C-alpha cells in the first residue's frame, strides 16, 4: 500500500473518495484524496471501517497460491532449442464506424472461403487465418471481440494478449479521437502497429491525408522513411486483404521474436466465456505456451474442470491446441472472466483446490468491501 492515495483505496473498495476525506477530517486527519497517505492513516481508516487494509496485491497473492502448488503463470520456457515460432496474435483497433467489425468479418470469411458457405459460423471471440508469404503458409490469430475493450481490460489485468495491433482508419473520415486513443494504448503497451487505411472504395477516400495525419502522431509510413506499414484496404470490396495479412507477418518478423515452447503444460488467457444451455460453461481460450489437450485438468480464474472437448472457429472438434491457437473449451464448472488466466495442472484435485481458494478469496474481498461501504454509510448518516 506504499504510495497509495485515498482515491486508490476508494476505487478498490468501491466507495467515494470524498467521503473518506470527510471521515478522516472528523477523525482529525487532514488528507486530500490524491496525496499518498502513510500506513498510520490507512490503519486508522481500517480500524474505523472495520476493514483489514490489504498490503498484498491480489496478483501477488495469486502468484503465491500457484507457487504453493509448484506452479507459475508465465514460467521460463527453456532454451532456444525448446522454442518454436508461434503465430502473431492481432487485435483490431480504431475509431467507431471505421470498419473494425467488417474488416474482421471479411478477413475471416475470405480465409474460410467456401468451406462454410451455408454452414454454421461460430463466433468464438478469436480465429486463425493462414496466408501465403513468399511461398510459405503463415498463420495469424485474430482476437475478434470488440478490439478495444478486450485489449484494455486484459492489459489492466496485466495480461498481454496482443502482439500486433491493426489500426483501422477510414480513409474518408481520417484520424479521429478514438484513433489517437487506440494509437496511444498500443504505444504504451509496446505493441507494433500496422495501419489499415479502410474504405478506399469510397469516392471521398483520401488515404494520403491519413498518412500525413498519423505521421504527426509519430506513426510514419515506410514509404515516407518511417517504420510503420500502411495498407490501403476495403473491407467492403475485400480489397488488399492479403496485403494486410502480409504486412502483419512482415511486421512480426521484423520487430518481434515470437516463439513458444509447445511441449510444456498449456497456459494462456480466457478471451470470453458464456453459459451455453446445452453445453454448460463454454470458454474461448488463447493458448500462449504449451499445448492444450482434451483430457487436461485446467484451472481458469475461479473455474476448473477437465477439458471434455475443444472446438475450433469452424465448430469442428480438435484434440489439441498449440501456442497462439484459440479454442473453445467445454468441461469447466463455471464461466471465468475475460482476461483471466488458465493453466493446465497435474490433476482435477489440484485444479479444484486452486479454484476453491480463488473463489473463497474473491468472496472474502466482496464481503469486506460491502462491510466498508456499510460502515461508511453509517458514519455519514450519524
Which x/- pattern, by CB under 6 A, does the window 169-198 give for ligand GDP? -----------------------------x
Q: If we measure between CA atoms, which residue out of 93, 116, 117 comes closest to residue 104? A: 93
Cell output for 179: 484513433
Tell me the window of 92-100, 150-158, 292-300, 353-361 that interacts with Mg ion (CB under 5 A): 92-100
Among 30, 40, 96, 156, binds ligand GDP (CB under 6 A): 96
Q: If we measure between CA atoms, which residue out of 60, 40, 46 comes closest to residue 9? A: 46
**In the complex, least distance from residue 146 CB atom to ligand GDP, rounded to whole angstroms:** 8
When CB distances to ligand GDP are compared, the closest residue is 99
Concatenated DSSP letters for 290-315? SBEETT-EEEETTEEEEEEEEE-TTS
Tell me the window of 199-207, 246-254, 275-283, 352-360 that interacts with ligand GDP (CB under 6 A): 199-207
Q: If we measure between CA atoms, which residue out of 254, 239, 246, 147 comes closest to residue 197? A: 239
Task: Give me the torsion for CA of 348, 353, 354, 358, rounded to 10°.
Answer: 130
Cell output for 372: 466498508
Tell me the window of 65-73, 96-104, 127-135, 220-228 that interacts with Mg ion (CB under 5 A): 96-104
178 sits near Mg ion (criterion: CB under 5 A): no
Residue 179 interacting partner from Mg ion, ligand GDP, none (CB closer than 5 to 8 Å by kind): none
Cell output for 202: 469510397
Closer of 201 and 348 to ligand GDP (Cβ) = 201
Cell output for 337: 472472466
**In the complex, least distance from residue 185 CB atom to Mg ion, rounded to whole angstroms:** 17
Distance CA 50, CA 141 (A): 48
**In the complex, least distance from residue 113 CB atom to ligand GDP, rounded to whole angstroms:** 20
201 labeled part of a ligand binding site: yes
Distance CA 142, CA 106 (A): 12
225 labeled part of a ligand binding site: no
Other Cβ atoms within 10 Å of 187 Cβ, number: 15
Distance CA 89, CA 126 (A): 10
| Alpha carbon distances (Å) from 118 to 210, 223, 328 | 38, 42, 21
Among 101, 152, 264, 333, binds Mg ion (CB under 5 A): 101
211 sits near ligand GDP (criterion: CB under 6 A): no
98 sits near ligand GDP (criterion: CB under 6 A): yes
Among 23, 37, 87, 100, binds ligand GDP (CB under 6 A): 100
Q: In a 3-state reduction of DSSP, which class is residue 195?
A: strand
99 sits near ligand GDP (criterion: CB under 6 A): yes
152 labeled part of a ligand binding site: no
> Where in 226-285 is the site for ligand GDP (CB under 6 A)?
234-236
Binding residues (CB under 6 A) for ligand GDP: these are 94, 96-102, 198-199, 201-202, 234-236
Binding site for Mg ion (CB under 5 A): 100-101
Amino acid at each position: 500500500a506504499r504510495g497509495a492515495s485515498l482515491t486508490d483505496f476508494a476505487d478498490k473498495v468501491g466507495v467515494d473518495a470524498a467521503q473518506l476525506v470527510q471521515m478522516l477530517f472528523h477523525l482529525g486527519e487532514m488528507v486530500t484524496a490524491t496525496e499518498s497517505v502513510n500506513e498510520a492513516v490507512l490503519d486508522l481508516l481500517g480500524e474505523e471501517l472495520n476493514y483489514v487494509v490489504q498490503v498484498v496485491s491480489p496478483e501477488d497473492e495469486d502468484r503465491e497460491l500457484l507457487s504453493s502448488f509448484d506452479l507459475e503463470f508465465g514460467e521460463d520456457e527453456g532454451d532456444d532449442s525448446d522454442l518454436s515460432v508461434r503465430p502473431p496474435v492481432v487485435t483490431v483497433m480504431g475509431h467507431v464506424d471505421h470498419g473494425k467489425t467488417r474488416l474482421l468479418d471479411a478477413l475471416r470469411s475470405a480465409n474460410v472461403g467456401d468451406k462454410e458457405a451455408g454452414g454454421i459460423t461460430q463466433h468464438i471471440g478469436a480465429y486463425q487465418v493462414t496466408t501465403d508469404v513468399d511461398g510459405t503458409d503463415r498463420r495469424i490469430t485474430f482476437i475478434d471481440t470488440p478490439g478495444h475493450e478486450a485489449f484494455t481490460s486484459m492489459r489492466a489485468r496485466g495480461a498481454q494478449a496482443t502482439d500486433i495491433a491493426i489500426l483501422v482508419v477510414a480513409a474518408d473520415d481520417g484520424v479521429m479521437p478514438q484513433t489517437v486513443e487506440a494509437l496511444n494504448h498500443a504505444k504504451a503497451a509496446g505493441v507494433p502497429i500496422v495501419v489499415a487505411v479502410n474504405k478506399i472504395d469510397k469516392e471521398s477516400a483520401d488515404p494520403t491525408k491519413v498518412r500525413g495525419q498519423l505521421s504527426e502522431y509519430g506513426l510514419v509510413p515506410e514509404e515516407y522513411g518511417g517504420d510503420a506499414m500502411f495498407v490501403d484496404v476495403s473491407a467492403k470490396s475485400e480489397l488488399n486483404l492479403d496485403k494486410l495479412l502480409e504486412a502483419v507477418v512482415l511486421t512480426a518478423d521484423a520487430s518481434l521474436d515470437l516463439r513458444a515452447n509447445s511441449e510444456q503444460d498449456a497456459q494462456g488467457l480466457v478471451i470470453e466465456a458464456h453459459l451455453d444451455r446445452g453445453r454448460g460453461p463454454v470458454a474461448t481460450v488463447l493458448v500462449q505456451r504449451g499445448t492444450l489437450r482434451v483430457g487436461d485438468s485446467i484451472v481458469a480464474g475461479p473455474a476448473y474442470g477437465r477439458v471434455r472437448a475443444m472446438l475450433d472457429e469452424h465448430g469442428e472438434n480438435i484434440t489439441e491446441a498449440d501456442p497462439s491457437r484459440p479454442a473453445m473449451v467445454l468441461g469447466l464448472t463455471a464461466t471465468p472472466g475475460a482476461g483471466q488466466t488458465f493453466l493446465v495442472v497435474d490433476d482435477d484435485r489440484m485444479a479444484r483446490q486452486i479454484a476453491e481458494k480463488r473463489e473463497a478469496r474473491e468472496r472474502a474481498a466482496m464481503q469486506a468491501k460491502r462491510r466498508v461501504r456499510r460502515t461508511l454509510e453509517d458514519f455519514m448518516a450519524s
